[in-house]
Chain A
Amino acid sequence: MTAASGETPKSATIVRMSLMFRVQHVLLMVTLLVLALTGFALMYHENWIGRGLIRLEGGILYRGFLHRAAASLLMAQLLFHAFYMLFTREGKKELGEFLLRRRDFSDFLQAIRYNLGTAAEYPLIGKYGYKEKFQYWGATIGILLISVTGLILWAETFSMRFLPKLVLDVTLIIHGYQGLLAFVILLFWHLYNEHLNASVFPMNDAWLTGRVKAEWLRQEHPLEYEKLKQEGIL
């Protein structure tokens, strides 16, 4: 297929997630699920959901072990991901696509206006629009912060020497609510954007196959579609 032909068949697909990112995504999914199940078990221990989860996780001590094991894996992933994005060719290219620009904010406002009916055109989105960037940076910063509070609580005997009890109490509150906030965002943002909206339902399977339909790309990420056309990839 060449740029000169101008027509792209509707069944054509294009790589959106390389194997490296798919593996990272699956690991992230598994660790976040384990962390949510073991974390909320403790946070909501007083009701049947928490009690059931704790029983499922083999008791309160094993729950803690699972939570810390998953947390260790998550923090290792965070370090690996930072290294990968900063120092590899593929990573540097993707990081460039993910950098926040003023345009993302105006795209967001235009999208809202279009949805409300006050703008005629939906914004033209590149490879990663405001939705993807919000998810990506939200997750990255969120994981970084929850790791800090988590480590303080994990090493409680060590932390106690340097931090007043008051600070540890606040740390515990922040850690729990950070987790809840992350869960809420995954539920109402990721679940809708990647599973439930009409364009991808039941899901955007790029996380498994790595590929998306060219037609979907044209609708959702027109600037990327045009760019790939000009580069002759589509």
Chain B
Amino acid sequence: MKGTVLYAVIAAALLGVCVPGPREAEARLSLEKCTLCHGKPEFRKILVDGKIQELFVTGDSLKGSVHEKKTCVDCHFDVSEIPHRERPRRVNCTHCHYKGNAEGAPQSDGYLAYFESVHGKAIARGNAKAPLCQDCHGSHAILKAKSQASLVAQGKVAETCGRCHIEIYAQYKTSVHGVAVAKGIKEAPSCTGCHGEHKIYSPKDPKSTVFATHVADQCSKCHASVSIMGKFGIETEQVATYKESFHGVASQFGSRTVANCASCHGTHDIRPEADPLSSVNPKNVPKTCGKCHPGANANVAVGKMHVDAKKKEAGIVYYVASFFKYLTIGTMLALIVHIVLDMYGRTKRLRGEK
């Protein structure tokens, strides 16, 4: 055993790769030693605030997880003696998950974005309630995000975020998107669908995917796609008609006060138009428009909201636009004909005068 360690140290020195030093390696604690205490089901601790923290961990805790082959001290590496005198520090995932790590732990720049995110910055400021990796991904039973059972899987991530964002989760759960996700619809957005995964920013941060001027683009990722919306019988032209409207144009050119999709449809509480609780239900439209246009009444619900003057469905708007189109073309042609005739007649007159 000692021989292999020696070879490893020499190899490491030659390759210039950093591996745990000999003393640390020798001091590694085995699973059996940890479970002397942690293996007892009644092993728990009463915290200062009266909450009970379960400390029961066995060799099976990592089974089936991505860290199946790891042992306690691979992550809790600050524990070097048993029993540990101090509470072990929170696990730092970047100990292994950094680019070019020898362990082969997955790492992409996406993870690094966390440090710039609203959560990462809150941690850096010393907010103990802000989430670290393990708060979303789980601590012992970490599964690949693609796995259905993972805490960050499309179907489960809302519940995970909802552990802290309780009110938002309650709104989202009954929204059109929340209901769709609960039904198992893969295309429906969960929290991360709109907010992003690691690079989550405050909606007031211009970098955020849900910043006022980015909302339309974010929604249109799905709502402008015929292949996605076609499956659910939802129109895709809403994005284009919004962009053609006063609101859309002002938003495209940088106005932050103008209405975007969320201003009218809501954010976490988006519901279908037919739902009486929907902010875009005809009965609620006056109130919704009234947020920006004080005094708005039932008049605002008369006519289509998303109008495309180029399409027949727009009704009178289409016919008025078409009338003016042909009137303009007709006028232009008549004026050109008049010019040509005048040029001809004028030449005749001017020559006759000479």
Contact = CB atoms under 8 A, between A and B. Distances in A.
A57 to B, nearest CB: 10
Nearest to B301: A165
B345 A188 contact: no
A68 to B, nearest CB: 14
B327 interface: yes
Contacts of A52: none
Contacts of A188: 332, 335-336, 339
B284 to A, nearest CB: 15
B320 interface: yes
B253 A160 contact: no
B249 A60 contact: yes
B contact face: mostly helix, strand, loop, or mixed = helix
A112 B314 CA distance: 40
B325 interface: yes
A180 B327 CA distance: 11
A16 B350 CA distance: 22
Interface in B198-254: 244, 246, 249-250, 252-254
Interface string A127-167: 00000000000000000000000000000111011111111
Nearest to B296: A160
A106 interface: no
B239 to A, nearest CB: 14
B7 interface: no
A177 B345 contact: no
B225 to A, nearest CB: 20
A85 interface: no
A53 to B, nearest CB: 11
Contacts of B331: 181, 184-185
Interface string B246-267: 1001101111000000000000
A172 B342 CA distance: 35
Nearest to A161: B295
B299 interface: yes
A45 interface: yes
Nearest to B323: A177
B120 to A, nearest CB: 33
Contacts of B353: 219
Contacts of B253: 45, 54, 59-60
Given A45-B253, A115-B345, A169 B295 contact: no
Given A60-B254, A157-B294, A122 B289 contact: no
Contact of B345 (A60, A114, A192, A219): A114
Contacts of A164: 299-300, 302-303
Contacts of B327: 177, 181
B335 A189 contact: yes
Contacts of A122: 345, 349
A199 interface: yes
A197 B346 contact: yes
B309 interface: yes
Contacts of A49: none
A1 interface: no
B282 to A, nearest CB: 11
A119 to B, nearest CB: 10
Contacts of B295: 157-158, 160-161
Interface residues of B, number: 49
Contact of A115 (B293, B321, B325, B341): B341
Interface string A105-130: 00000011011100000100000000
Nearest to B319: A170
Interface string A168-181: 01101110011011
Given A59-B254, A174-B320, A192-B342, A169 B328 contact: no
Contacts of A99: none
A198 interface: yes
B347 A166 contact: no
B252 A45 contact: yes
Contact of A112 (B317, B341, B343): B341
Contact of B346 (A162, A185, A199): A199
Interface string B297-337: 10111111101010000111100110011011001100110
Given A60-B250, A197-B346, A199-B346, A177 B332 contact: no
Given A45-B249, A160-B295, A61 B255 contact: yes
Contacts of B250: 60-61
A201 to B, nearest CB: 11
CB-based closest 6 A-B pairs: A166-B303, A115-B345, A164-B302, A177-B324, A188-B335, A60-B253
Interface of A: 42, 45-46, 54, 59-61, 111-112, 114-116, 122, 156-158, 160-167, 169-170, 172-174, 177-178, 180-181, 184-185, 188-189, 192, 197-199, 219
Given A157-B293, A165-B299, A166-B315, 19 more contacts: A46-B244, A59-B254, A61-B250, A115-B344, A157-B295, A158-B295, A161-B296, A164-B302, A166-B316, A169-B303, A169-B309, A170-B316, A177-B324, A177-B327, A180-B324, A184-B331, A184-B335, A188-B335, A188-B336
